[in-house]
Chain A
């Protein structure tokens, strides 16, 4: 089951959901609108390889905005620290953002239970689009679970700001890194 907006607010009040900062006006009928943080990361190389670290540079989005181009993946983050040890979050774009051809995640909408972070957004523009810091860019929903809970203790836990992929660590662990 999905939590309604009033239930998201209620569960946050009881400490079972973290959304910080939280503003009641950002609560929707069955989700909460989150904001885009001021920093982006973009990979310095055009050609990427999952088996090696892919260096990234930081971009600060000016108040006048920044144009995202279709041929790059941009990493942003939520302004809010969000998560729950009791419900599974799922994120998506607001439809108003999607109508501009902007993806806010790249087929990775499901958040692990217990992951409490400023979540990294995977921004991909279909056409050039200008974005601004603090945009109400996406929505988070919360879902009830079945079964015993093991909380997330993964490599992105506790992070702030956009985090580039650390998938090469899988290959290091397997001894097959580039």
Chain B
């Protein structure tokens, strides 16, 4: 089952969902609108080696916005710290940005139960577009799980900045 907006509020008040900072105005009928954090990172090299180092350049998004161009993946973060030990989060873009050709993740919408952090966003655009820090860019929904829960001990959940995988994460999984 997916949690309704009022249920997201209720479960957050009960301590079962974390969204910080939180504003009731950002609650939708069955999701919560998250905002874009203040900086973006891009891969520094022309070819990204899955098992190599991933040098990243970081750019603070200026007040006049930043022009994103096609052919590049921009790593951003959610302005909010988001997660839950009780409900499974799924992060997507909002349709108002999808309508402008902005992907907010690259087919990796599913979060892990227990990972509570500023989520990394993988932003890809179809056409050049100017975006701004702090704007509402996407939605997180929460889903009820079935079965025993195991504690989250994953790699990315430790980070609240945009990071890439180290090699063994893509080979042995740890």
Contacts and interface: CB of A to CB of B under 8 A. Distances in A.
Interface in B87-118: 90, 92-105, 109
A176 B118 CA distance: 25
Contacts, number: 149
Interface residues of A, number: 46
Given A51-B130, A122-B98, A107 B4 contact: no
B70 to A, nearest CB: 7
Given A49-B130, A71-B70, A145 B101 contact: no
A112 B4 CA distance: 9
B77 interface: no
B93 A107 contact: yes
Contact of B1 (A71, A106, A109, A146): A146
Interface stretch (A8-16, A128-136, A162-170): A162-170
Nearest to B90: A110
Contacts of A122: 95, 98-99, 101
Nearest to A90: B2
A47 B1 contact: no
Given A54-B100, A73-B101, A152-B29, A43 B127 contact: yes
B126 A71 contact: yes
Nearest to A112: B29
A88 interface: yes
A148 interface: yes
Nearest to B68: A48
A70 to B, nearest CB: 8
A107 B105 contact: yes
B62 to A, nearest CB: 13
A163 B9 CA distance: 30
Interface string A155-178: 010000001111100110000000
Interface stretch (B53-61, B133-141, B147-155): B133-141
B163 interface: no
B16 to A, nearest CB: 12
B29 A72 contact: no
B1 A145 contact: yes
B98 A107 contact: yes
Contacts of A110: 30-31, 90, 92, 139, 141
B41 to A, nearest CB: 19
Interface in B1-21: 1-8, 10
Contacts of A54: 100
Contacts of B99: 73, 75, 106, 108, 120, 122, 163-165, 167
A108 B92 contact: yes
Interface of A: 1, 43, 46-51, 54, 70-73, 75, 88, 105-110, 112-115, 120, 122, 124, 143-152, 156, 163-167, 170-171
13 contacts: A1-B1, A47-B129, A72-B101, A106-B102, A106-B126, A107-B109, A108-B95, A109-B92, A122-B98, A122-B101, A147-B6, A150-B29, A167-B97
